[in-house]
C-alpha cells in the first residue's frame, strides 16, 4: 500500500471515529455532496468532483490549508465504495476467560451459563 492509500485509509478512519456522515447528494449525478462537520456543531461542507480533472474538492479548513486528503472527501469515497470502509478494531480479549462471548458455560452443562464480569464493564 503506497503512502497515498495509507493517507486515505487514515482519513476514512478519522471520519468513522468522528461519526462524520454524508448528509446527502445536493445535485444528483453531479458529484456534489454535503458532509457533516466533525468540529462545527451543525455545519456541513460541500465535497465536489471536478467534471474534467475528477479531483475532489472540499470546503473544510484542512482543504483550505492544502491537505487534499480530508475526512470529508474520504467519507464520500467510502459512500461511493471507491474506498474500503474502515473496520473497527477487534474487542480486547476477556481477562476473565470467556473468550469474548460474555458468558461462562458450566463445564458439566447442568446449570445455566453465568454472565461474565467483562460484559458488565462493557455495559457501563
Query: In this predicted model, what pLDDT tens digit does every residue of 78-118 receive, in sequence order?
Result: 988 888 888 776 666 677 777 666 776 666 666 666 777 77
- Please list the residues that pair with 45 across neighbouring strands: 35
List the strands of the sheet with 56-58, edge to edge. 22-27, 32-36, 44-49, 56-58
pTM of the model: 0.65
**Selection from 19, 73, 82 nearest residue 50 by Cα:** 73
Mean pLDDT of the 18-31 span:
76
Per-residue pLDDT tens digits for 30-88: 778 888 888 776 788 889 988 888 888 999 988 889 888 899 999 999 988 888 888 77
What does the block give as the cell for 51? 467534471
> Does residue 124 register a pLDDT over 50?
no
Amino acid at each position: 500500500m503506497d503512502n497515498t492509500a495509507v493517507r486515505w485509509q487514515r482519513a476514512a478512519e478519522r471520519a468513522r471515529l468522528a461519526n462524520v456522515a454524508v448528509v446527502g447528494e445536493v445535485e444528483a449525478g453531479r458529484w456534489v455532496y454535503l458532509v457533516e462537520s466533525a468540529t462545527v456543531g451543525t455545519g456541513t461542507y460541500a465535497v465536489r468532483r471536478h467534471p474534467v480533472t475528477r479531483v475532489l474538492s472540499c470546503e473544510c479548513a484542512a482543504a483550505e490549508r492544502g491537505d487534499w486528503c480530508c475526512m470529508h472527501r474520504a467519507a464520500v469515497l467510502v459512500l461511493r465504495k471507491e474506498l474500503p470502509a474502515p473496520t473497527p478494531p477487534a474487542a480486547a480479549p476477556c481477562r476473565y476467560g470467556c473468550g469474548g462471548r460474555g458468558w461462562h458455560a458450566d463445564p458439566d452443562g447442568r446449570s445455566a451459563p453465568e454472565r461474565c464480569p467483562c460484559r458488565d464493564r462493557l455495559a457501563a
